[in-house]
Amino acid sequence: MAVLELNEQNFEETILNNDFVIIDFWAPWCGPCQGFAPVYDETSDKYPNITFTKVNTQDEQGLAGHFQIRSIPTLMIFREHVIIYSQPGAMQASQLDDLIARASEVDMAQV
């Protein structure tokens, strides 16, 4: 599945219209972001029921500021419109798979 670029115009609609959204906050000048990008893109192909997105913090400073992004890359997960995960740092594919598995198991009735 293709990774969707988020901006201030499509952000809210994307979150409201999808039950499971992962956001990669990144920037073109960020070395760790560039290293993580292929892992993120390949992982998106394995999970067609999850919406994988990216926010270019250089271009979308309003979104980065709203979510208080201080380091990149930062991954954020929304389930049913609620942030259940937000953490900086690149991951290996196995770590991202584990994170997705844990996020999938969250009982949203308890959140």
- The domain in which residue 44 lies consists of 4-103
Q: Return the DSSP state at 110.
A: G
- What are the strands of the beta sheet with 82-88, ordered from one edge? 4-5, 51-56, 20-26, 74-79, 82-88
Residue 67 lies in a domain: yes
Q: Is 46 a catalytic residue?
A: no
User: Over the stretch 21-78, which tens digit does the pLDDT of each residue have?
Assistant: 999 999 999 999 999 999 999 999 999 999 999 999 999 999 999 999 999 999 999 9
d(CA 89, CA 63): 18
Q: Is 94 helix (H, G, I), strand (E, B) or coil?
A: helix
Whichever domain contains 10, its CATH number is 3.40.30.10
Residue 71 lies in a domain: yes
Residue 109 lies in a domain: no
Answer whether residue 111 shows pLDDT above 90.
no
- Output the pLDDT for position 1: 63
Residue 37 lies in a domain: yes
Residue 75 lies in a domain: yes
User: Over the stretch 64-99, which tens digit does the pLDDT of each residue have?
Assistant: 999 999 999 999 999 999 999 999 999 999 999 999
Q: Is 37 a catalytic residue?
A: no
Q: Is 102 helix (H, G, I), strand (E, B) or coil?
A: helix
User: Over the stretch 1-10, which tens digit does the pLDDT of each residue have?
Assistant: 689 999 999 9
Count of domains for the chain: 1
Residue 95 lies in a domain: yes
Which one from 30, 50, 69, 72 is the annotated catalytic residue?
Answer: 30
Residue 110 lies in a domain: no
Residue 8 lies in a domain: yes
Distances (CA, A) of 46 to 8, 42, 56, 96, 101: 27, 7, 23, 11, 12
Which one from 6, 15, 23, 33 is the annotated catalytic residue?
Answer: 33
* Chain mean pLDDT for the chain: 97
